[in-house]
Amino acid sequence: MTPKALLSVFNKAGLVEFAQELLNLGFELIASGGTARRLKEADLPVQDVAELVGGGAILGHRVVTLSREVHAGLLATRNDVDLLEMEKLGLPYIDLVCVDLYPLQQEIAKPEATRESVIEQTDIGGPTMLRSAAKGRRIVICNLARRQSVIDWLKAGQPNADSFITDLAAEAEGVVADYCLASARYHSGGNIDGFVGTQVAALRYGENPSHASALFSFQRDHPLALDKFEQVGGTTPSHINLTDLDRLARTVLQIATTFEKNTGHVPCIAVVVKHGNACGAAVADHPEIALQKMIMGDPMAIFGGVVMVNFVVDESLATILRTYGMPEGERRLLDGVIAPSFTNHADEVLERKKSGKCRMWVNSALTNLSQKYLEQVQYRPVCGGFLRQTGVPFILDVEDDRMERSAPARRRQELDLILAFAIGSTSLSNTITLVRDAMLIGNAVGQHARVRAAKLALMIARESGHGLKSRNQFRRLFEWLGLIKRKVGGVAYGDSFFPEPDGLEVLAKAGVKLIFASSGSVNDAVVREAAAKHGVALYTLPDKVCRGFFGH
């Protein structure tokens, strides 16, 4: 029995070449509408599916493949009863189906989309053929990228046929499920929602070694989706490695977009995280300075961290990551480094040869970060369902007309505030973030009281050597004797309002001169009075506008 292939594709790219390969393998071709015309124009022998179905195409070609003739050919088994019935009916047994669908998701995404335009781009025959082919255990192809692998498999004699066909069927069912979900989401106005993910990697383990874990992808158009990061070095990552990568991508993206909004350009960015929160971060005009400042922000915490930068890492920059600030002859251990690319033996400098635990990923999108990437819908699993929220709604603009300022600040301080905002708003709240000289010096995350967050941020800064040398000789003596603490200086970002003046006062007494927080506390007036008393420039916006809680 000569094998039959049914082709019905919206995207005609590569169609003729694929059809010729099938002909060379002995297939007879059946095709619908425009697919049949394209093949006939290429002088390939093909039967139009309208000739197969009784009465031909109807309703302006909207109903062609939705016929018992087509689906009998897809659902018939190879047992004698079915084959005899098919022969009596004069219907072909269809062995292979290649179908892609009308671009429904693309139509929905258009700002000018209407119900009528969405319905027009809603494919019915295509999904139905894919499901029939999947149920009938046919060779089913639902995306262009699969065509060559099917041709190669056919040429190889169809090895491991059962598992190969099962994989194709599962992919087709997933594509249809995602397609139908997009339609349901649109027509329900978002009251029906969900996602269909595809496993792209099995991980070493989950949050703990007793957990199993895998990476799935469903936001396929997002250039910072984790499956877009290509691993080029190190062992298989764990669940925590990838959650760190995700948080890094969010922080680096927030830094880039906030600087672009406020200054018109994106600086060199270097960020390191531990347990999902930035413990080192810096911006500079030169990669070397950005790395050095990132490292010296908290040299202890960076040990075993994961680093992301928005510039190419060469051998000299890799050497900075491993050795800067370290005792002579010693090297810093890192669990991962992510960059647009690595050159000049940088991977050899970074690798941990015995364990392979310094994973390296590349993603060229890091060199061209855009605010639109912040607008992706976010999902979070909860017991019995999931939470959905819109993407990042607020990016700090220090020139915002709504901004209330208790006193003016220097431009250099405002630039530090921009960095503090971007870090703090992508760190686990409740948080106070300290920045000085374009470098993170203290990030107190996840605290239950704002005054404790202020104290913790200052403690981290001081432990990392970020105290300012006093000009007063008596104060220097008292600092040396440990009777008073060195001032830290810099600027501070708080992700919400100060409920009492105590947190602001702790920061002010440590020399912090510019603080950004939201307003909305019943004690706002008292907090502003405290800022004026201590000579602190307090910048505020309403809490409903700028509150930066993250990661609850």
Segment 241-266, tens digit of pLDDT: 999 999 999 999 999 999 999 999 99
* Long-range Cβ contacts of 467-470 (<8 Å, 24+ apart): 468/511
Which range marks the domain in which residue 483 is found? 394-546
B/e letters for 334-354, b = 16+ CB within 10 Å, e = fewer, are: bbbbbbbbbeeebbebbbbee
Q: How many domains does the chain have?
A: 3
pLDDT above 70 covers what percent of the chain? 95
Question: In whole numbers, what is the pLDDT of the chain averaged over residues?
Answer: 91
The first and second tokens of residue 390, run together, are 């819109």
Of 187, 208, 238, the residue at which a domain comes to its end is 187
**pTM for this prediction:** 0.88
Query: What's the confidence (pLDDT) of residue 482?
Result: 57
Under the banding of pLDDT at 50, 70 and 90, the label for residue 62 is low
Q: Indicate if 428 and 305 belong to the same structural domain.
A: no
CATH number at residue 163: 3.40.50.1380
Phi, psi of 313 (to 5 degrees): -105, 120
- Tell me which of 339, 372, 405 is where a domain ends: 372
Bridge partners, residue 491, by sequence = 435, 514
Query: Based on C-alpha coordinates, what's the Rg of the chain?
Result: 30
Q: CB burial class (10 A; 0-12, 13-18, 19+) of residue 544?
A: exposed
302 token code pair: 């960076």
Q: So what's the pLDDT on residue 87?
A: 83
| 229 pLDDT more than 90 | yes
What pLDDT band is residue 65 in, cutting at 50, 70 and 90? low
Say yes or no: 468 and 351 in one domain: no
Domain contains 383: no
In this prediction, residue 61 carries a pLDDT of 62
Q: Decide if 524 is inside a domain.
A: yes
Residue 39 has pLDDT above 60, yes or no: yes
Task: Provide the 3-class DSSP secondary structure of residue 459.
Answer: helix
Backbone angles phi, psi at 7, to 5 degrees: -115, 130
- Give the pLDDT confidence score for residue 474 in this predicted structure: 47
pLDDT at 467: 78
| Same domain for 155 and 38 | yes
Q: Are residues 165 and 269 in the same domain?
A: no
Whose tokens are 């409740």? That residue is: 430
pLDDT over threshold 60, residue 203: yes
- Same domain, yes or no: 230 and 363: yes
Q: Which band of pLDDT confidence, cut at 50, 70 and 90, is reported for residue 177?
A: very high
Average pLDDT over residues 162-189: 96
On whether both 104 and 229 belong to a single domain, the answer is no
Whether 378 is in a domain gets the answer no
Cis peptide before 208 (omega within 30 of 0): no
Tokens 């041709």, located at residue? 151
Question: Are residue 320 and residue 360 in the same domain, yes or no?
Answer: yes
Same domain membership, residue 508 and residue 456: yes
Same domain, 264 and 400: no
Q: Residue 502: what are its φ and ψ, rounded to 5°?
A: -60, -40
The SS3 of residue 467 is: coil
Q: Do 429 and 337 have their domain in common?
A: no
At 478 the pLDDT is: 46
Instruction: Name residues whose C-beta falls within 8 Å of residue 393's C-beta, 6 or more positions apart in sequence.
Output: none
CB atoms within 10 A of CB 413: 20
Write out pLDDT tens, residues 389-435.
Answer: 988 778 999 999 999 999 999 999 999 999 999 999 999 999 999 99
Neighbouring C-beta atoms of residue 79, cutoff 10 Å: 8
Model confidence pLDDT, tens digit, residues 327-347: 998 999 999 999 999 998 999
Q: 212 lies in a domain?
A: no
pLDDT reported for residue 218:
84
Mean pLDDT of 277-294: 97
How does pLDDT run across 122-135, given as a tens digit for each residue?
A: 999 999 999 999 99
Stretch among 219-228, 330-339, 451-460 having the lowest mean pLDDT: 219-228
In this prediction, residue 439 has a pLDDT band, given cuts at 50, 70 and 90, of very high
Beta bridge partners of 182: none
- The CA-based diameter of the chain, rounded to the nearest angstrom, is 107
In this structure, are 368 and 412 located in the same domain?
no
CATH number of the domain to which 453 belongs = 3.40.140.20
User: Tokens at residue 262, please?
Assistant: 């406020």
* Predicted pLDDT at 331: 92
Q: Is residue 530 part of a domain?
A: yes
Residue 468 lies in a domain: yes
- Looking at residue 362, its pLDDT comes to 97
pLDDT tens-digit map of 485-527: 778 889 999 999 999 999 999 999 999 999 999 999 999 999 9
pLDDT tops 80 at residue 64 = no
Residue 545, SS3 per DSSP: helix
Could you tell me which of 436, 435, 433, 438 has the C-alpha nearest to residue 453?
433
Q: Which helix (H) or strand (E) holds 75?
A: helix 68-75
- 284: nearest Cα among 310, 258, 302, 261: 310
Distance, in Å, from the CA atom of 152 to the CA atom of 160, rounded to the nearest integer, reads 13
Tell me which of 338, 372, 406 is where a domain ends.
372
Residue 91 counted as domain residue:
yes
* DSSP state letter for 494: E
Q: Is residue 494 part of a domain?
A: yes
179 shares a domain with 273:
no
Mention every residue, 6+ apart, whose C-beta is less than 8 A from residue 416: 435, 436, 437, 438, 490, 491, 514
